[in-house]
Amino acid sequence: MTEAHAELDKPKAARSASSAPLTEPPVHGEHPVIRLPFNVVINGRSFQGHALSIVGAEATGLIDPQLHGRVQLVTLVFNFPGYAISLPVDAAIGAGAPESGTVTLRFLEPTGPHLPQLRYILNAFVGGDLIGVDGLIRTGEKPEKLRSEQPRAQRSASHGIMTGIRWGAFAGLGLLLVGFVGVKLYERLFVLPVTGLSTVTLDGMDMRAISPGQLDFVNPAAGKGEIAFAIRTTSGEVLAVSMPCDCVVAPGAAQSGATVLAGDTVMTVAPKDAPVLISSKVDGNGLRALASGAHAEVHLPNGTVTTASLDSRQLPGLLRSATDGAAIPVTLVPATALEQSNVGTPVDVVIKSDPLAAVGRFFSFNGPANEGH
């Protein structure tokens, strides 16, 4: 029990005698005093508050003189639009200024349960988040106030910057969309993927079976003039074919014991310094593009990418033998020399046309159908 509460237990005469000579201590001390609208309820009567701190309060109204110096449970009431917050506090009631009808309240336990709510209200009022209007506490409108206080030139500059950023974003998105559509249109009109099998091969010749039968002997390492392979015919006769040069044999040569027909390729040979080519099959559109100057983009399995063009020596024969819808065997010459170790490797081929050349080929060349005109 605090000393102030103990004072209540004394007889009235004793309280008056003991408290009369004492001077009333200051209410707020060194704590800041906030002016805000609130009410104080003492013994059922409501008083208009006009000053408040975390240790005391001041209110206006006529109070019973017998309550001066007494400890009383009072209620601080903060009125908001539509609701109110009430904080009960034990306070020592002071006379204040009786001639002006002022009463003071000194909180006995400033750190009591009411402190968090009271501190929040006081801090919000000091910070401008809460304001007093017509006896009510309302939320402050600082952003609107600050915006209205900005100079007109500053607001215009900020608005111009934001407008520029928005238009820049729209322009960027528009360029991205145009670029995306352009890429897709280019791939649709000027890029032709080759769907047939394409492999790396040597610029050599095919050694074919001269008679049907069974391969009795195959020697890919044979030197010039030595027997490269031998065929045992159905009549029991053995036909030998010699190696025409000190050649390199491409991978995929037939194995001994295999059955062959006349004209079947047994092995492909080429001189040791023979260039490496790309063997592929294209349709009529691909042939027209290559004949008009389009280049083929070759993708090797190891990630290497190179370009290749149609062997011009093949063009007359290809045009004569080409038919609509048929796959046409072509030989492509790489722009960059490939190593012979890549021979036999499958590759991906994409035909890419120059847009101007692609438009021009429709006027200068219309495929094999015009050969007789």
Asked if residue 248 lies in contact with residue 342, where contact means CB atoms within 8 angstroms, the answer is no
- Domains 3-145 and 204-274 in one fold: no
* pLDDT for 199: 84
In whole angstroms, give the CA distance from residue 244 to residue 93. 127
N- to C-terminal Cα distance for the chain? 123
208-243 burial, b for 16+ CB within 10 Å, e for fewer? Answer: ebeeebebebbbbebeeeeebbbbeeeeeeeeebeb
In whole angstroms, give the CA distance from residue 85 to residue 91. 18
In the 3-class helix/strand/coil scheme, how is 263-274 assigned residue by residue?
CCEEEEEEECCC
**Helix, strand and coil in the chain, % to nearest 5:** 30, 35, 35
Dihedral over alpha carbons 154, 160, 166, 167 (to 10 degrees): -170
Asked if residue 62 lies in contact with residue 47, where contact means CB atoms within 8 angstroms, the answer is no
**DSSP conformation letters of 186-239:** HHHHHEEE--S-EEEEESSEEEE-SSSEEEEEE-TT--TTSEEEEEE-TTS-EE
Q: Which of 297, 311, 333, 305 is nearest to 193 (CA)?
A: 297
For 3-145, CATH gives 2.40.10.220
What is the CA angle 185-189-362, rounded to 5?
A: 140
Q: Classify domain 204-274 by CATH architecture.
A: Beta Barrel (2.40)
Length of the chain: 373
- Class of 194-203+275-373 per CATH? mainly beta
Q: How far is CA 187 from CA 191, 306, 307, 351, in A?
A: 5, 19, 17, 10
**Element (DSSP H or E) covering residue 350:** strand 346-352
Q: Which of 124, 137, 17, 19 is nearest to 77 (CA)?
A: 137
In whole angstroms, give the CA distance from residue 56 to residue 52. 6
In whole angstroms, give the CA distance from residue 1 to residue 109. 12
Domain ranges of the chain: 3-145, 152-186, 194-203+275-373, 204-274
Asked if residue 281 lies in contact with residue 201, where contact means CB atoms within 8 angstroms, the answer is no
The DSSP letter of residue 251 is S
Cβ atoms within 10 Å, residue 1: 7
* pLDDT for 218: 92
* pLDDT for 44: 86
pLDDT in tens, the chain (373 residues): 444 444 434 444 444 444 443 445 577 778 888 888 899 998 888 888 888 898 999 888 888 778 888 888 999 999 888 888 899 999 988 876 666 678 888 899 988 898 888 888 888 888 888 877 777 888 776 544 444 555 666 667 777 788 888 888 888 888 888 887 777 666 666 677 787 788 888 877 889 998 999 998 999 888 888 999 999 998 889 999 999 888 888 887 888 889 999 989 898 888 888 888 888 888 777 777 777 778 888 888 888 888 888 877 776 667 666 665 677 788 888 888 888 778 878 888 888 877 665 555 555 544 444 444 4
| The model's pTM | 0.40
